[in-house]
Amino acid sequence: MMRKPIIIGNWKMNKSIHDSIIFIDELGKDSFEIEVGIAPQMITLPIVNEVKGNVLVGAQNANDHLEGAYTGEVSIALLQEINSDFCIVGHSERRQYYNETNKSVNDKTKLLLDAKIMPVVCVGESLEEYEAGKTNEVIKEQINNSLADVSIADCVVAYEPVWAIGTGKTATTQTAQEVCKFIREELAKMYSQEEADKVRIQYGGSVKPSNIGELMACPDIDGALVGGASLEIASFKELINY
Ligand code: PEP
């Protein structure tokens, strides 16, 4: 099964409009054998879209309601209107700081698919859960509830152990592969092996130019979701040219 690798940089709440344009304009002029995406701050999305070239540009979040009285939120309809290529949902920072639940992740995923925007659905266990040997249990629950009743082949799933995000600690390649394989097995139970084999699964958590090669060589890892190492163009370019 050939799945096109996909590496996405999540800029979180970093970079000015000016710096975002310069970065994406330069990156977008390159051609890639894989899919390369950047999720900048929401307000810059329609602006960098103008210069994105070969880069996919997407959002870091959107609301789980179609429209209405949700002060400060951004609708998926608006993301569709500005041609957002993808949207990250269920990032652990959103689950942790903004009470995002598997139910809201599932609702967002469905709305995104209706709007033909690719959902990048994040799952991952906390340090406590990891140390208690509960990784598979937690991942199973997140996968079953966040990804129920969706067109699964159109989703990207990102496995991001929370303890490895921004900490410099990476899961060993073996652990990352084992959990990504487990995710695919769960998806096969929920859907079918054929559908599960089409899903691209990313690993995220302190991915750097020095470890991307061995991660991408794993049979069930089809890409990476990258925070820190996506902020400098040199390191991000090195990374996507693994
Ligand atoms: C992330 O926040 O999705 C992430 C993986 O961050 P970092 O690469 O900095 O660990």
Q: Is 205 in the pocket of ligand 1 (CB under 6 A)?
A: yes
Which atom from ligand 1 is nearest to the alpha carbon of 168? 10
CB-based contacts of 227: which residues, under 8 Å, 6+ apart?
9, 10, 12, 165, 166, 204
Catalytic residue among 35, 93, 100, 160: 160
Catalytic residue (one of 35, 91, 100, 125): 91
In the residue annotation, 238 being an active-site residue is answered as: no
| Average confidence (pLDDT) over 101-107 | 98
In contact, 59 and 46? CB cutoff 8 Å: no
Q: Distance (Å, rounded) from C-alpha 18 to C-alpha 5?
A: 29
Ligand 1 atom closest to 122 (CA): 3
Indicate which residue's Cα is closest to atom 7 of ligand 1.
227
Q: What's the CA-to-centroid distance between 69 and ligand 1, angstroms?
A: 31
Percent of the chain exceeding pLDDT 70 equals 100
Strand residue runs (E) in the chain:
6-10, 35-39, 56-59, 86-89, 118-123, 156-159, 200-204, 223-226
**133/49 Cα distance (integer angstroms):** 43
Tens-place pLDDT, residues 141-154: 999 999 999 999 99
Is 54 in contact with 32 (CB distance < 8 Å)?
Answer: yes
* Ligand 1 binding pocket includes 227 (Cβ within 6 Å): yes
Q: What burial class does residue 204 get, using C-beta atoms within 10 Å of its C-beta: 0-12 exposed, 13-18 middle, 19+ buried?
A: buried
| pLDDT attached to residue 64 | 97
For ligand 1, say whether the CB of 204 is within 6 Å of any of its atoms.
yes
Q: Give residue-wise pLDDT tens across range 174-223.
A: 999 999 999 999 999 999 999 999 999 999 999 999 999 999 999 999 99
pLDDT for 148 equals 98
- Name the band, by pLDDT with cuts 50, 70 and 90, for residue 169: confident
Among protein residues, the one whose CA lies closest to atom 4 of ligand 1: 227
Task: List alpha helices for 120-219, DSSP H.
Answer: 127-131, 135-146, 173-190, 193-196, 209-216
227 pLDDT above the threshold of 90: yes
Cα separation, 11 vs 225, in Å, equals 10
Q: Which pLDDT value is given to residue 167?
A: 84
The three-class DSSP label of residue 48 is helix
**pLDDT for 199:** 98
Mutate to test the pocket of ligand 1, among 162, 165, 231, 240 (most ligand atoms within 8 A of CB): 165
Q: Which residue lies with its CA nearest to atom 6 of ligand 1?
A: 227
Pair 112, 89: CB distance under 8 Å: yes
DSSP 8-class letter at 166: S
Instruction: Identify whether 91 is a catalytic site residue.
Output: yes
pLDDT bucket at 166, cuts 50 / 70 / 90: confident
Length of the chain: 242
Average pLDDT (106-113) is: 98
Mean pLDDT of the chain: 96
pLDDT at position 1 is 67
Average the pLDDT over 83-111 and give the result.
Answer: 97
Mean pLDDT of all residues in 76-88: 97
pLDDT in tens, 67-77: 999 999 999 99
Condensed to tens digits (0 to 9), the pLDDT of residues 8-22 reads: 999 999 999 999 999
